[in-house]
Chains A and B, each alone.
Chain A
Amino acid sequence: MTVPMPMRSKETGVPRPTLSARHIGKAFGAHVVLKDVSLDVERGEVVCIIGPSGSGKSTFLRCINFLEVPDAGGVWVDGERIGCQEVDGVLWEVPSAVLARQRAAMGMVFQRFNLFGHLTAVDNVALALRLVKRMSRPAARERALSVLASVGMERFAGHRPAQLSGGQQQRVAIARAVAMEPKVLLFDEPTSALDPELVHEVLSVMGSLAGQGMTMVVVTHEIGFAREVSNRTVFMDGGAIVEQGPSAQVLGQPSEPRTRAFLSKIK
């Protein structure tokens, strides 16, 4: 059903990337948001995407797990094409059950946390374990509690989202994504909705995930995090990648004038 990615693994023997987004294009009506954006992420790599608002970085992230359906290009995770299948030379949607399985292998952390408002912290984490991973209620709860402990939220397992601070909600949201053991974790401006004093607790959880070898793509405005934690930084502007490379280089000695202009504005 799924088409193997036309990949350098066959050509050169280099291990293929965990996540590969190729030539992604997306427009909302006449407004072109993404123009031919490609990104490969290796296993265990942490890639930060920075750029001015409206540059298309969030839309790109949402195209990766098909929350937005790209108009052009394709996304592969471990060589499996996401959301699409080729049948007799025609590109079709995959059945919704297949897309659900593919999404379960990609975690997503949202700017606005999006915790399930009617469920406690532990049930937020356990819901998909029960419904998607088909774990029993006690097993899902046990696993959820241990993942909550890993983000320092086990004391708040019985709290509803409305009873938690923004930073605590975001840590539960990260636990909800991590519990599914995704191949790649996508973060969509995870600290942008937080009060300044709460940013640190979320970044430190993300830093420790990176330390454990989690493959991560992080859309962020936190240049400090990009510099210290990420292997690679991508600068996007006007719906395209302007510059990318090792974080120290892109953030330290950017070669593109637009990157320099952006960095000087947010520092």
Chain B
Amino acid sequence: MKNTISRDIHDPAFLSGKPRPLGRGNRAVATAIMVALVLALALRIVASGAINWSITFGFFFHPAILDGLVMTLELTALSMIVGVLLGIALAVMAISRYPAVSAASALYVWIFRGTPLLVQLIFWFNIALVFPVVGIGAWQVSINSLVTPFAAALLGLGLNEAAYMAEIVRAGIKSVDSGQGEAAVSVGLNRRQVMNSVILPQALKVIIPPTANQTIGMLKNTSLVSVIGAQELLTKTEDIYARNFQVIELLIVASLWYLVLTTVASAFQFWLERRFGDSRAVEVIAGAQP
């Protein structure tokens, strides 16, 4: 800083205006290092010749891969539906006046959030070892025929998701000002009406963004069900590379599809958060101030 000139406020020749930010030079250096690292890694992978890219692109729209993709989407959607509905029920149970009911909810969350999802999936797949049949008398059904890999996957993913959704919904309910419930009971609404017509609609603003986050997580978590052979994207991918031994090429196919799904879901989440994230602020701006 040898050229720094010191002037006081009485000097008429002071420089006026917005100062230039420091650190422009550092930024260029950082950019150069990052570009060089990424290029070096990309060149290394391509130059090695170990990856046969034509196989990757050849299998990208393979019917089996697309079937697996559809199954992944189905599992994600159905598991989230199970998770959200059961999660709301668990959250309402958690704030029950009856200690046994809230304890049951806490026990559920403790077990399903406290054990690995992978373990839960294998557990549901093998549930017939504990309960071979359900039903009474003439209406007995073998659990083995009931719990297909798809059903076990749905049970495992949905019941696990419910534990996380319960916490999200509970936080949403708690975020609503207690005055809302008081106003609602003061005009004669019963408990169910207060929850359904006043509390939950206002809790949505807090519930929706993390739920979108959970959905993105679920898209990837469905890959875990490959261990029980539910025919989703990763299982289909594994089936193919078990026959042609092009392991990395096919894992890249699966990874690219997961990236496509999560990118689309993230864009949807961005839209959702703008729509619901801070609706009050949006309304104040949009509404004519009287």
Given known A-B contacts A114-B177, A117-B180, A162-B280, A128 and B290 have beta carbons under 8 A apart: no
Q: How many interface residues does chain B have, given as a range? A: 20 to 34
Contact A116 B180 (CB under 8 A): yes
Contact A177 B290 (CB under 8 A): no
> What is the minimal beta-carbon distance from B157 to any residue of chain A, in angstroms?
31
Q: How far is A218 from B71 in the complex, measured between Cα atoms in Å?
A: 63
Q: A165: CB under 8 A from chain B?
A: yes
Contact A163 B284 (CB under 8 A): yes
> What is the minimal beta-carbon distance from B251 to any residue of chain A, in angstroms?
46
Interface SS of B by simple majority: helix
Q: How far is A96 from B202 in the complex, measured between Cα atoms in Å?
A: 23
Q: How far is A97 from B188 in the complex, measured between Cα atoms in Å?
A: 9
Contact B283 A162 (CB under 8 A): yes
Partner pick for B184 among A101, A116, A173, A177, CB 8 A cutoff = A116
> What is the minimal beta-carbon distance from B95 to any residue of chain A, in angstroms?
15
Given known A-B contacts A162-B284, A180-B187, A114 and B180 have beta carbons under 8 A apart: yes
Q: A34: CB under 8 A from chain B?
A: no
Chain A residues with CB under 8 A of B198: 116, 127
Q: How far is A19 from B259 in the complex, measured between Cα atoms in Å?
A: 66
> What is the minimal beta-carbon distance from B185 to any residue of chain A, in angstroms?
6
> What is the minimal beta-carbon distance from A82 to any residue of chain B, in angstroms?
13
Chain B residues with CB under 8 A of A101: 188
Q: A27: CB under 8 A from chain B?
A: no
Chain A, 73-111, CB within 8 A of any chain B CB: 96-97, 100-101, 103-108, 110
Q: A168: CB under 8 A from chain B?
A: yes
Contact B186 A177 (CB under 8 A): yes
Q: B289: CB under 8 A from chain A?
A: yes
Contact B287 A177 (CB under 8 A): no
Given known A-B contacts A117-B202, A164-B290, A168-B290, A67 and B283 have beta carbons under 8 A apart: no
Q: How far is A163 from B190 in the complex, measured between Cα atoms in Å?
A: 28
Contact B180 A128 (CB under 8 A): no
Contact B183 A115 (CB under 8 A): yes
Q: How far is A101 from B188 in the complex, measured between Cα atoms in Å?
A: 6
> What is the minimal beta-carbon distance from B63 to any residue of chain A, in angstroms?
46
> What is the minimal beta-carbon distance from A93 to any residue of chain B, in angstroms?
11
Q: A32: CB under 8 A from chain B?
A: no
Q: A16: CB under 8 A from chain B?
A: no
Contact B185 A67 (CB under 8 A): yes
Given known A-B contacts A112-B179, A114-B179, A116-B180, A103 and B186 have beta carbons under 8 A apart: yes
Chain A residues with CB under 8 A of B187: 103-104, 107, 127-128, 132, 176-177, 180
Chain B, 189-214, CB within 8 A of any chain A CB: 189-191, 193, 197-198, 201-202
Q: B67: CB under 8 A from chain A?
A: no
Contact B290 A67 (CB under 8 A): no
Mask for A134-173, Cβ within 8 A of B = 1, else 0? 0000000000000000000000100110111100100001
> What is the minimal beta-carbon distance from A214 to any residue of chain B, in angstroms?
16
Mask for A223-247, Cβ within 8 A of B = 1, else 0? 0000000000000000000000000
Contact A128 B188 (CB under 8 A): yes
Contact B280 A114 (CB under 8 A): no
Chain B residues with CB under 8 A of A267: none
Given known A-B contacts A117-B280, A162-B283, A104 and B188 have beta carbons under 8 A apart: yes
Chain A, 53-72, CB within 8 A of any chain B CB: 65, 67
Q: How far is A118 from B289 in the complex, measured between Cα atoms in Å?
A: 18
Additional pairs, 5, CB under 8 Å, beyond known A115-B183, A160-B283, A180-B188: A103-B185, A106-B186, A107-B186, A173-B183, A180-B187
Q: Residues on A close to B: CB < 8 A?
A: 65, 67, 96-97, 100-101, 103-108, 110, 112, 114-118, 127-128, 131-132, 156, 159-160, 162-165, 168, 173, 176-177, 180
Task: Provide a sorted-by-A list of 17 A–B residue pairs whose CB atoms are within 8 angstroms.
Answer: A65-B186, A100-B185, A100-B188, A100-B189, A107-B187, A108-B183, A110-B183, A116-B183, A127-B198, A128-B188, A128-B189, A132-B189, A156-B290, A160-B287, A162-B280, A164-B290, A168-B290
The 7 closest A-B pairs by CB, nearest first: A104-B188, A163-B287, A114-B183, A128-B187, A108-B186, A114-B179, A132-B188
